Amino acid sequence: MNSLDTQFVKNVQKWLPDLALGIENLSTHKLRSLLTMLGMIFGVAAVVAMLSIGAGAQQKVMAFIEQLGVRNLIIEAKEAVNWQGMEKVRRISPGLTLSDYETLRKGVPGIEESTPRKRVQPSKILPKPQLDTPVVYGVNAGYLVISNLRVIDGRFFTPQEDSAAAPVCVLGAGAKDSIFGASNAVGEYVKLNDQWFHVIGVVAPQASVQADIAGIRNEDQNNLIYAPLHSVIFRLEENQAWLKDKIAGIVMRGIQNAACDFSLVVPAELLAQQKRTEQLFNTVMVAIASISLLVGGIGIMNIMLAAILERTREIGVRRAVGARQRDIVRQFIVEAVLISFVGGLLGIAVGFGMSELIGWFAGWSTVVTATSILLAFFVSISVGLVFGIYPALKAARLDPVEAIRYE
């Protein structure tokens, strides 16, 4: 054993008697020790629970943004809040059209894959969905790659089926469960408005968020039906209305930008912004929860000061038989840290239970991370150490003669 190991063993041996004495003193007054720990227990539990709520919410948002594709650019049409507003905008712009898509496709080099997306809300669906009516997305076959969709049953439609306006569709996981339940959906038929579509595939569940994200429609990504773009245009819309919009788009193409009725969404920028928001949210949550830890620290200081009065004679005897001031300091700091240590462990368990209950009752996604546990535990130990120093110094500075005489 080298000199460093020997020194380490000696240092540990110095602390062991104080540790045993601290455990004995806390065990002697079990109720008082538990009441003192309550502040630390609830403080640590609050930190763990709040961070778990934030981590769960941010995890869903991050997964949704990454699902959009950090290398993708999304041009989303803006919806008017009322008919009058839409009518006013349509006087100067027909909205995003296939002509705009073709212009962008030809004018922007380096595009690896692209697709228009036509959103249609069917007025009726057969078989009747058990939950909310699914939304139909009319897209090209390339949407499978662009949106990172994964087909778990059947297949996605082909470019040839899109060109031929074939009456086929692929169901989102939520739409499949709502329409067909546990039964197999591939090979069945779904009636959208007055048109029958053959179900050829089902995609895996997608990440969805309830909170608003700038430029992104707040929509359940699982309650969707994907169909070829041309099938949606020719089968689910009036052809004359579509032709009218097409002509209007060509005529008014020159003043399209004047209406500014679209938004450009860059998922990579949203991801970076969301990470900054997550850091800010975690900082605020920790600051709020740390108030409970501060109260717990004050409780520890209060009980340690009261313990000094109770054990003044004991302190005097220890000093009289040779204990130094640093020995007395070490004894009281060990007891304060023991309170915060045990309180921190119990607080982590309570915080984990609180996060599970919140997720179960409120239906929120909660994630208890190792970072939140380590942070809460480290802060609790630090609070015990900081608030135990003053009582320890006060005990060490007692006059031995006066302490022995104290009754």
Give me the pLDDT at residue 190, please.
93
Look at the block and give the residue holding tokens 């004047």.
Answer: 258
Determine the Cα–Cα distance for residues 171 and 225; give it in Å rounded to an integer. 5
Residue type, 158: T
pLDDT at 244: 46
Structural contact between residues 264 and 40, judged by C-beta atoms closer than 8 angstroms: no
pLDDT recorded at residue 200: 94
Which residue reads 């697709």 in tokens? 115
Residue 143: exposed, middle, or buried by beta-carbon count in 10 A (0-12, 13-18, 19+)?
Answer: buried
Tell me the backbone φ, ψ of residue 336, rounded to 5 degrees: -65, -40
pLDDT (tens place) for every residue of the chain, 407 residues total: 555 556 555 655 666 776 777 777 777 777 877 887 887 888 888 878 877 877 777 666 666 666 665 566 666 666 655 556 656 655 555 566 677 667 767 777 777 777 888 888 888 898 899 988 899 999 988 888 888 888 999 999 999 998 898 999 999 999 999 999 888 999 999 999 888 999 999 999 887 655 555 555 667 888 999 999 989 988 886 544 444 454 444 444 444 444 555 555 555 566 666 667 767 776 776 676 667 777 778 888 888 888 777 777 777 877 777 777 877 888 888 888 888 888 888 888 888 888 888 878 876 778 787 877 887 778 778 888 888 888 888 887 877 767 676 55
Helix (H, G, I), strand (E, B) or coil at 227: strand
Q: For residue 155, what pLDDT is reported?
A: 93
CA distance linking residue 177 with residue 184, whole number of Å:
10
From residue 13, alpha-carbon distances to 9, 89, 108 in Å are 6, 81, 73
For residue 127, say if its preceding peptide bond is cis, omega within 30 degrees of 0: yes
Q: Which residues contact 31 (CB under 8 A, 6 or more apart)?
A: none
Domain regions of the chain by residue span = 14-64+273-405, 74-265
Whole-Å CA distances, 201 to 68, 153, 296 = 21, 5, 57
* Stated length of the chain: 407
Residues 241-293 pLDDT 10s? 444 454 444 444 444 444 555 555 555 566 666 667 767 776 776 676 667 77
Helices and strands of the chain, counted as H and E runs: 15, 10
Q: What is the DSSP string of 349-398?
A: HHHHHHHHHHHHHH-------HHHHHHHHHHHHHHHHHHHHHHHHHHHTS
Instruction: Determine the Cα–Cα distance for residues 331 and 396; give it in Å rounded to an integer.
Output: 10
Give the whole-angstrom CA distance, residue 47 versus residue 376: 6
pTM: 0.51
Q: Any idea what DSSP says for residue 22?
A: H
Look at residue 77 in the predicted model and tell me its pLDDT: 64
